[in-house]
Structure 1
Amino acid sequence: MSTFSYILGIVAASFTFIIVIDMLRRQRLRERHAIWWITGAILALIVGIFPALLDAIAAVIGIDVPINLVFFVSIAILVLVCIQHSAELTKTERQIRVLVEESALLSKRVRDLEDRA
């Protein structure tokens, strides 16, 4: 890859890292959501600064084309983000269902008390 590509990678990783940290600071992103984005940005920054490291790791793992390792790791991180969001969505749906049920019970009690009065 050209020097420009590596510089572009370093700039993109740094930009991502800064954006995620800023979103954390402004409380627009929670820590548990940011961890995968920070991990990805740090990995991209390391590979951008030390491109030979990517070649060495790909060779150790047995991957012929190092960029395929980048794609694999990127997809793996995105899958982990999706799993995390699915788990949180499931938890939130459960909480909402419980709240709706409790609200319905309270509404019924209020109506029953009004009918008695």
Structure 2
Amino acid sequence: MNAPVVLGLLGSIGTLIFLFELLRRRHLREKYAVLWITVSVTALVLAAVPGLLKGLSDLLGVEVPSNLVFFLALLLLLLATIQHSFEVGRLEERTRTLAEEIALLRLDLEQRTNTRQPPE
């Protein structure tokens, strides 16, 4: 085995172990883990079968196989960023709604406690 194949295998196996450890400790949610496990398994397959990337790049008409890897990685990161932006926007809206609800509940509580106090 040559060095790039060994490095690819070790890197993808190490990433899988790291992902499973993050899942075990509940530091990574399952919906995000599916994406990264898929990426790691794909990297493992491409590292184990180096001719597969060359064949895929020939099929798609890409001159240099590493350019295909970089393009796919860029596409993956773009999609992950869009998905995270969507989630952040949704969470910001939810946080604003909850803050407004808390403010209304506090106002209601203050009004109720002020009406029950005897005049001085």
TM normalised by structure 1 equals 0.93
Say if 2:79 is the partner of 1:80: yes
Which consecutive residues of structure 1, in runs of 5 or more, have no partner in the other structure?
none
Amino acid at match of 2:54: D
Tell me what 1:93 maps to.
92
Structure 2 counterpart SS, 1:5: helix
Structure 1 counterpart SS, 2:68: helix
Structure 1 counterpart SS, 2:26: coil
Q: Percent identity?
A: 36
Deviation at 1:115, TM superposition (A): 2.0
TM normalised by structure 2 equals 0.91
Q: Output the aligned Cα RMSD.
A: 1.3
What pairs with 1:96-111 in structure 2 (closer than 5 Å)?
96-111=95-110
Which consecutive residues of structure 2, in runs of 5 or more, have no partner in the other structure?
none
Tell me what 1:35 maps to.
34
Structure 1 counterpart SS, 2:28: coil
**Structure 1 runs of 4+ off > 6 angstroms?**
none
Instruction: Write the distance in 2 (CA, Å) between the matches of 1:93 and 1:84.
Output: 14
